[in-house]
Amino acid sequence: MQRRSRLFAAVGAAIALAFAAGPAPSAEPKQGGILRIYHRDSPASASIHEEATYSANIPFMGIFNNLVLYKQDAPQNSLQSIVPELATSWSWSADNLTLTFTLRQGVKWHDGVPFTAKDVKCTFDMLMDKSPQKFRKNPRKTWYDNVTEVTADGDFQATFHLKRPQPALLALLASGYSPIYPCHVSPAEMRTHPIGTGPFKFVEFRQNESIKLARNPDYWRKGRPYLDGIEFTIIPNRSTAILAFIARKFDMTFPTEVSVPLLKDVKAQAPQAVCELKPTNVNVNLIVNRDKPPFDNADLRRAMALTLDRKAFIDTLAEGQGDIGGTMLPQPQGVWGLPPEILRTIPGYGPDVQANRAEARKLMEKLGYGPAKHLAVKISTRNIPVYRDPAVILIDQLKDIYIDGELDVVETGNWFSVVARGDYAVGLNLTGNAVDDPDQAFYENYSCGSERNYTHYCNRDLEKLFDRQSMETDLEKRKKLVWEIDRRLQEDVARPIIYHIRAGTCWWPDVKGFTMMVNSAYNGYRFEDVWLDR
Amino acid sequence: MAAYLLRRVALMVLTLFGISVVIFVLLRLVPGNVADIIFDAAGMINPAEKAGLERQLGLDRPIVVQYGAWMGGLLEGDLGHSYVSDRPALEEIAPRLPITAKLAGLALAFSILFGVPLGVVSAVRQNTAIDYVLRVLSLSGLSMPAFWLGLLILMAFVAWTGFIPIYSETPQSLWDEFLVYSVPAAAVGFRSSALVMRLTRSSMLEVLRQDYIRTARAKGASEPAVNYRHALSNAILPVITVIGIEAAFLIGGLIVTETVFNIPGVARFLVEAIRWRDYPIVQNLVMLIAVVVVVVNLIVDLLYAVLDPRIRYGE
């Protein structure tokens, strides 16, 4: 145990030191200018803690600070890329059950009130539903299920008390979804006029029009941010938005909002633009309602998983730009993805699609289906192209195993209500992971009773493995456990992953200091290192 | 006339009451409410949190009570609060109204300024090259969807000028406003102008064959005088009716045009509000549109009497 805590402390200290040194700038950054970005839609509110979409993260992340944060110029998020932010350092207790943060002094909220450890406690009390002040909705409450309490030990020290060791708690705290909120501002005010300690102050949020941020001149990190402000213009029409970017009305597209075909269009019309296509840690998956006959039959679910031709999905929908993997994002961009040699051995992942389908047909025939007796089923999905298009391909592929699918599009706002009620038999779904860490992906999507466990898959033995990997401090040992869990999830057809999406972001060459992350679309928008070379 | 007006106003109030009931009920028949949509964005539903939100917004009350509250508020000038932004509905709607009004006004002006004179020219020069060109133009106007035309215009601007005429910040001068609204107004007004042009043409052709036109010519009236003073003033009545109807239907074209040109008007806002099931916004906006339609209809009817001295209401 002591060895473990020393390891935790050493990693923390090393990272703190690395951060103090700061990243080596590639050119001399210039102060000033407004960064103009178009936004894909109007977020429901400005409160990051109450939202679960990067429509809220991207524009509002710059207003806040976390205790710790993923290094903004490191493309891959990992435990090694976590740096202090409102914390100056952290340490684990000998039993790894308490995580103590020493907090930065002299930091002020945008309204001038000093930041203290009480704010940290308030934030996490609200997230853990222990505060009299309540969020309207609290989508990441489960992230802190292992935290019993957060205490403020004086003004500049905060401690997390855990039920069991969880080294990856830091990974969750480093996400763009983990800002520290002020005690003295109500959740309702944070929805409309957020106050933070971050590099940018909130100026204005006009629903369906624009979001404006201005430089925080009192920011604790001297010399940052470089920009005078950021303006997001909300343009829901994708064609208009892309044309406006090409016409240089904007410096940057909305991050990860440029599809593969559109990326080609942009490069053709604006060859000078810098465009990057990266995995977003969002996957397309098949959900089968295991409570609904005949899909309560494991063989039927297995046959459905076996018929998936993942490459065909990627080739048709994304011109070959996608990644095949299990629950965790495939390597090398993902940290925890199943290695190809294991992936190949999982039923349905082998290269011979016809052999897989022959096996699937045998299973179907065993269940009484065949050329003369097809199984008719509605394939439910959300009524937006990114869901609908793969659902159509899925229907086509299911035909090969005597399943006649009929597309059942659900009005987009009702999709998760339908899924949560179990009011579907087979569906096509998208799952986004904010943090490339098994503690987020496994508990959120596969633990018994989780609100996001749409298929109601429940395996108590596997849950014990979830805990084991979560407590494991040795990275390599943890990886092996994670692979074992991921393999079993795919074999159990818990929620067959069809493919992992890649998406593009473009910006003009005079936008500097922006790093597009490769294993999350949620964590890289502090914008304090971004500058305009004009 | 006064009795006629009173009757029309009473009918208007009844119509608006009917519309308010239909809108209120229809909105609540659509699956899902704002709480569903808000939770949907989070990819999860927590029944307790959802129930709390519904209670907070008063959505758990009986529908009759909700309707009564809305009507009561309307009579006191309180439109309620937006469920999404939590701001008073009036504050959300009011700044967007002039934007759409300007765009609609300009579009209507475009359709009249182009539609009527070109319709006259087309009729007067019947079966000539210019008539054929104008007829093809009007047919294309009727068959081109506004969003498609809008996108085409944007693409052409970007490709040829490198400039994109979309709304990105509040115009500071009248000239800025003209620049911002003229292109989308042309896109949305093109269809109406085509309709007006065709109708003017057919109406003019009918009138030009009348005896009194021949008489006017025989009396030595000039061609413009014959065409505009004698023919057009008689041919314009059905055109006015159509313009009135078009003004009401313009909102449909404005929804797509405001979306394509990114104009933050009420039409686009209405669509967003429907998507979010933001009842206070949708109810009040639809009522406002209904009032506009009903009032425009009344104005058109009254215009008949002004334009045609033979028409007398209430006699």
Interval B31-43: pLDDT, tens: 888 888 888 777 7
Does residue B16 lie in a domain region?
no
Q: How many CB atoms lie within 10 A of CB A433?
A: 24
Are the C-beta atoms of residues B45 and A451 closer than 8 Å to each other? yes
- The 8 Å CB, 24+ separation contacts for B7-12 are B8/B298, B8/B301, B12/B294, B12/B295, B12/B298
Q: Which residue intervals of chain B are DSSP H helices?
A: 2-29, 34-40, 47-57, 63-75, 89-93, 97-124, 129-143, 146-161, 174-208, 211-218, 223-224, 233-260, 266-275, 279-307
Average pLDDT, stretch A441-459? 92
Q: How far, CA to CA in Å, does A27 sit from each of A24, A75, A229, A335, A531?
A: 9, 19, 21, 30, 11
- Evaluate whether residue B179 is within a structural domain: yes
Q: Give the number of domains in chain B.
A: 1
Q: What is the pLDDT of residues B272-287, one digit of tens each?
A: 899 889 999 999 999 9
Instruction: Tell me which residue of A328, A303, A346, A243 sits closest to B260, measured CA to CA.
Output: A243
| pLDDT band at residue A240 using 50, 70 and 90 as cut-offs | very high
| B65 in any annotated domain | no
**Residues of B with Cβ-Cβ distance to A384 under 8 angstroms:** none
- CA dist., res. B252 & res. B249, Å (int): 6
SS3 A211: strand
Range in A120-134, A406-420, B240-254 the model is least confident about:
B240-254
Q: Does residue A4 surpass a pLDDT of 70?
A: no
Closest partner residue to A239 among B37, B151, B269, by Cβ? B151
What's the rounded mean pLDDT across residues A243-251? 96
Among the partner residues A52, A188, A413, nearest to B37 by beta-carbon distance: A413
Whether B128 is in a domain gets the answer yes
pLDDT tens sequence across B170-183? 888 888 888 889 99
pLDDT of residue A21 exceeding 80: no
Q: Which domains does chain A have, with CATH numbers?
A: 2-252+508-532 (3.40.190.10), 279-502 (3.10.105.10)
pLDDT, mean over chain A: 93
Contacts A–B by Cβ distance under 8 A: 124
Instruction: Collect all residues of chain B within an 8 Å Cβ-Cβ radius of residue A137.
Output: 38-39, 42, 46, 49-50, 53
Q: Give CA B119 to chain center in angstroms.
A: 22
Q: Is the pLDDT of residue B314 over 60?
A: no
Question: In chain A, which residues have their Cβ closer than 8 Å to the Cβ of B158?
Answer: 243, 246-247, 269
**Cβ neighbours of residue B177 closer than 8 Å, sequence gap 6 or more:** B102, B171
> Stretch A153-175: mean pLDDT, rounded?
97
The larger pLDDT score, comparing residue A147 to residue B223, is at A147
Tokens 């009986």 sit at which residue?
B62
The predicted pLDDT at position A192 comes to 93
Top-ranked range on mean pLDDT: pick from A50-59, A205-214, A503-512: A503-512
Q: Is residue B217 part of a domain?
A: yes
Range of the domain at B212: 98-307
Q: What is the DSSP letter of A181?
A: P
For A360-371, write each residue's pLDDT tens digit: 999 999 999 999
Mapped onto helix, strand or coil, the DSSP state of residue A276 is strand
Band of residue A8 on the pLDDT scale cut at 50, 70, 90: very low
- Can you give the CATH number for the domain in which B224 is found? 1.10.3720.10
Position A9 pLDDT exceeds 70: no
Mean pLDDT throughout A180-185?
Answer: 97
Is the Cβ pair B44, A414 closer than 8 Å?
no
Predicted local distance difference test score (pLDDT) of residue B312: 66
Looking at residue A332, its pLDDT comes to 96
Residue B51, in any domain of the structure: no
When pLDDT is averaged across residues A266-272 and rounded to a whole number, the result is: 95
CB A289 within 8 A of CB A474: no
What would the mean pLDDT of A317-324 be, rounded to a whole number? 95
Identify which of A274, A276, A300 has the alpha carbon closest to the alpha carbon of residue A288. Answer: A300
For all residues of chain B together, what is the average pLDDT?
Answer: 88
pTM reported for the whole predicted model: 0.87
Residue A315 has pLDDT above 90, yes or no: yes
For position B280, what pLDDT does the model report?
Answer: 95
Per-residue pLDDT, B117: 93
pLDDT of residue B94 exceeding 50: yes
The pLDDT of residue B296: 82
Task: Determine the pLDDT at residue A1.
Answer: 39
Strand A229-234 versus strand A200-206 pairing type: unpaired
A490: its two tokens: 């795919």
pLDDT of residue A420: 83
- Give just the sign of the alpha carbon dihedral A159, A160, A165, A169: negative
Query: What's the ipTM?
Result: 0.82
Q: What is the pLDDT of residue A428?
A: 97
Tell me, yes or no, whether B26 lies in a domain. no
Our CA-based measurement puts residue B290 at a distance from the nearest CA of chain A, in whole angstroms, of 23
Check CB contact under 8 Å for A413 and B276: yes
Q: Is residue B86 part of a domain?
A: no
Is A452 in contact with B44 (Cβ distance < 8 A)?
yes
Q: Which of B140, B239, B156 is CA-nearest to residue B190?
A: B140
Radius of gyration of chain A (CA): 23
Which residues of chain B neighbour A188 with C-beta distances below 8 Å? Answer: 86
A interface with B, Cβ–Cβ below 8 Å: 42, 44-45, 50-53, 55, 134, 136-139, 188, 191-192, 206-209, 233, 235-237, 239-240, 243-244, 246-249, 269, 411-417, 420, 432, 451-452
Q: Provide, as residue numbers in chain A, all residues whose Cβ is less than 8 Å from the Cβ of B154.
A: 239-240, 243
Kindly state the average pLDDT of the residues B158-170.
Answer: 89
User: What pLDDT is stored for residue B301 in this prediction?
Assistant: 80
- Classify residue B291 as exposed, middle or buried by CB count within 10 Å of its CB (0-12, 13-18, 19+): middle
Given pLDDT bands bounded at 50, 70 and 90, which one contains residue B79? very high
